[in-house]
Amino acid sequence: MTMMLKTLKITAADVDAEGRYTGSADVTDWPGHIEIAKDLGTVLFASRLCAKGRIVAGAGSGIEAALDVEAGEGIEVGLGVKAGRNVKARWSVVAGLDIVAGLDIVSRESVKPRAGLKAGRGVKAGADIVAGLSIDAKWVSARHSIFAGSCEWRTLKASEMEIRAELRGGTIAYGVHVAPPAASKERQL
């Protein structure tokens, strides 16, 4: 028997004119799901946005947290996800635009931004990494395949199809691997 998790619904009433979350619920360690209404733009969180369940932001809404964005289940966002430190989900991380993290992006399943993917340290997926544009990180690791430049809405420049990171796991199924500068120097020595 599974326990039903409570859902916190963040609406326009919980966001100020600058897009900052001003609601009364503590979203730094929410015991259930968090749903952000559509068309709120990017909602800014002063520290963490953390839910035991899923985090979902409707079309036209995105998430930016000063520290972490973490979900015990999945993260699905209409716009982009940006975290000062980490973006982590037990299931997939899916965004209509970019996924950006100061440190790591980690998912037990897939990481799928419709646009680009950028991490200060690494990107790790238990299944696939599928980016509409380029991938920038110190390292990437997927259990299966890595795709960069899978954009379907326009023709891409070659630089928008690059995986600029050390490959630690997975197979590049689409895109061009560009070794990080440090790795290139080591090979030349």
Average pLDDT, the chain: 93
Instruction: Give the pLDDT confidence score for residue 140 in this predicted structure.
Output: 97
Q: Where are the beta strands (DSSP E) in the chain?
A: 7-10, 33-36, 41-45, 49-51, 55-57, 61-65, 69-71, 75-77, 81-83, 87-89, 93-95, 99-101, 105-107, 111-113, 117-119, 122-125, 129-131, 135-148, 162-174, 176-178
Q: What is the pTM of this model?
A: 0.91
Q: Is 109 part of any domain?
A: no
**Domain count within the chain:** 1
Taking residues 107-115, what's their average pLDDT?
Answer: 95
Q: Is 133 part of any domain?
A: no
Residue 184 pLDDT > 60: no
Residue 186 pLDDT > 90: no
Host domain of residue 54: 1-97
Q: Is 110 part of any domain?
A: no
Q: Is 90 part of any domain?
A: yes
For residue 128, give the amino acid letter: D
Q: Is 176 part of any domain?
A: no
CA distance 166 to 36: 35
Residue 23 pLDDT > 70: yes
